[in-house]
């Protein structure tokens, strides 16, 4: 029985071969640069995909919340890192998790560092998150007073171990990657040389998908932590991080109506399935996803401009090419490549592989 026979409502398809190839390619890139790949599992959020990662030699992963770390714990990971400025209200729950899973967190202020000093009864590693220009979170790269304050406070607990510096250059989504990577290399290199006398084992980590995908010069950075590359998506393809053939997920959506006069196809698939990330073309037209043909063995690109032009809670309206209109009928199932696979996967909460296997995703 084809996976297609299982689909009656919006379903997020996962092409295992593409996903494994994305993992393998990034693992090989890290190996080539003698770096440690610690993928961010905010995208996949899946134990099963974690097993595929392990087959590529990956031993540590990253999450964006404690609850996601709990979900992915006790799967044999050497360490799980929570790449989010640690939320001090979760200190006791982190301590419980650290009893059964080696963990590290991210610190950017004294208050939370002190809270962990006061709470932890099990060992937890920590990175100091550095802001070298992105401006979202982190200690300013030149704020040695705060860096040393965090290190000094952490020393009060034998359970809080400094592991190194983490820098997420998220502005590679908007700007000049080579320039941003030069800043990133310089910032992390400076910090490493400044602190490695006292902390000889410290490592530096960076990791955004656009940068990790296209950069070949990582300087002396030790670790890579990209997330989205596991699936990629149309946003990444538009940035040049991947081609559309590298996108490992597609939403299967039932066709519920056709308005040939308007060249529109109504599908069951909306904001609660895709989330609402959007790409704009040069004329300001919105694109919430690109139509692909579903086949017995997966999907094929159409490249004819057919795309989701608008979505509401459950409705999606496809602007269809004449060719697509000529092929499709009510009750068919179309494929849609997502704009932002992390958000789409989070909305859907599970995957269906092309051999009809349901793959887990963290809840909520």
Minimum CB separation from a copy of itself for residue 244, in Å?
23
- Alpha carbon distance 222, 15 (integer Å): 30
Query: For a copy of itself, which is the closer residue by CB, 12 or 337?
Result: 12
Between strands 315-319 and 307-311, the pairing is antiparallel
The answer to whether 323 touches 304, Cβ cutoff 8 Å, is: yes
Three-class HEC string of 341-364? HHHHHHHHCEEEECCCCEEECCCC
Exposure letters 312-323 (e unless 16+ CB within 10 A, then b) = eeeebbbbbbee
With a CB cutoff of 8 Å and minimum separation 6, the contacts of 266 are 255, 256, 257, 258, 259, 315, 316, 317, 318
Question: CB of 247: closest distance to a copy of itself in angstroms?
Answer: 18
- Angle at which helix 16-32 crosses helix 47-55, to 10 degrees, equals 50
Q: What is the C-alpha separation between 13 and 338, in angstroms, rounded?
A: 11
Q: Min. distance of Cβ 44 from a copy of itself in angstroms?
A: 13
Distance of CA 135 to the CA centre of its chain: 19
Least Å distance, CB 245 to a copy of itself, is 25
Task: Closer to a copy of itself by CB, 221 or 275: give it.
Answer: 275
Residues at the interface with a copy of itself (CB under 8 A): 7-9, 42, 64-67, 84-90, 93, 108-109, 111-112, 115, 136-137, 170, 254, 256-258, 266, 268, 271-272, 275-277, 310, 312-315, 317, 329-331, 333, 342-343, 346-349, 363-364
CB of 33 to a copy of itself, least distance (A): 26
Q: Which is nearer to a copy of itself, 57 or 149 (CB)?
A: 149
Degrees, nearest 5: CA angle 154-158-164: 50
Question: Smallest distance from the beta carbon of 112 to a copy of itself, in angstroms?
Answer: 6
Cβ 8 to a copy of itself, closest distance in Å?
4
Minimum gap (Å) between residue 32 Cβ and a copy of itself? 29
**Please, what sign has the CA dihedral across residues 144, 146, 149, 154?**
negative
Shortest distance (Å) from residue 189 CB to a copy of itself: 25
- CA–CA separation, 327 and 302 (whole Å): 12
Closest distance between a copy of itself and the C-beta of residue 279, in Å? 14
Q: How far is CA 92 from the centre of its chain?
A: 27
CB 144, CB 123: distance < 8 Å:
no
User: For residues 161 and 268, which CB has a smaller minimum distance to a copy of itself in the complex?
Assistant: 268
Nearer to a copy of itself, 139 or 242 (CB): 139
Please say which residue, 85 or 305, places its beta carbon nearer to a copy of itself: 85
Give the residue with the Cβ less far from a copy of itself, 17 or 152: 152
Q: What is the 3-state secondary structure (H, E, C) of 100-125?
A: CCCEEEEECCHHHHHHHHHHCCCCEE
Taking the least distance from each CB to a copy of itself, the nearer of 56 and 157 is 157
* Residue number, 27 or 345, with CB nearest to a copy of itself: 345
Q: CA-CA distances (angstroms) from residue 291 to 6, 258, 325, 338?
A: 20, 15, 12, 9
Distance of alpha carbon 105 from alpha carbon 162, whole angstroms: 10
Among residues 16, 8, 13, 14, which one has the least CA distance to residue 333?
A: 8
Cβ distance to a copy of itself smaller for residue 185 or 340: 340
């Amino acid at each position: 029985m084809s996976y297609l026979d299982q689909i009656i409502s919006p379903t997020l398809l996962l092409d295992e071969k593409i996903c494994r190839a994305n993992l393998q390619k990034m693992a090989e890139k890290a190996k080539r640069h003698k770096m440690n790949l610690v993928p961010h599992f905010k995208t996949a959020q899946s134990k099963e995909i974690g097993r595929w990662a392990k087959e590529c030699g990956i031993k540590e992963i990253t999450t964006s919340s404690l609850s996601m770390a709990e979900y992915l714990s006790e799967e044999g990971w050497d360490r799980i890192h929570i790449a989010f400025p640690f939320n001090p209200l979760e200190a006791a729950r982190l301590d419980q998790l650290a009893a059964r899973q080696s963990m590290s967190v991210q610190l950017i202020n004294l208050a939370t560092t002190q809270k962990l000093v006061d709470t932890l009864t099990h060992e937890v590693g920590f990175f100091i998150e550095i802001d070298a220009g992105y401006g979202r979170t982190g200690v300013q790269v030149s704020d040695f007073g705060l860096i040393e304050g965090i290190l000094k406070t952490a020393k009060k607990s034998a359970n809080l171990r400094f592991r190194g510096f983490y820098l997420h250059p998220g502005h590679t989504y908007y700007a000049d990657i080579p320039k941003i990577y030069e800043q990133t290399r310089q910032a992390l290199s400076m910090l490493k040389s400044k602190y490695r006398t006292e902390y000889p084992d410290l490592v530096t980590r960076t990791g955004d998908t656009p940068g990790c995908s296209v950069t070949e010069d990582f300087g002396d950075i030790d670790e890579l932590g990209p997330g989205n590359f596991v699936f990629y998506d149309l946003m990444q393809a538009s940035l040049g991080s991947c081609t559309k053939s590298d996108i490992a997920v597609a939403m299967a959506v039932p066709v519920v109506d056709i308005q040939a006069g308007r060249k529109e196809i109504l599908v069951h698939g909306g904001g609660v399935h895709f989330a609402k990330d959007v790409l704009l073309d040069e004329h300001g037209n919105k694109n919430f996803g690109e139509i692909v043909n579903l086949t017995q063995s997966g999907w094929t690109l159409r490249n004819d401009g057919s795309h989701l032009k608008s979505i509401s809670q459950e409705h999606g309206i496809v602007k269809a090419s004449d060719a697509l209109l000529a092929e499709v009928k009510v009750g068919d199932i179309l494929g849609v490549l997502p704009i932002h696979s992390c958000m789409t996967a989070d909305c859907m909460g599970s995957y269906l592989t092309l051999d009809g296997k349901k793959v887990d995703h963290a809840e909520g």
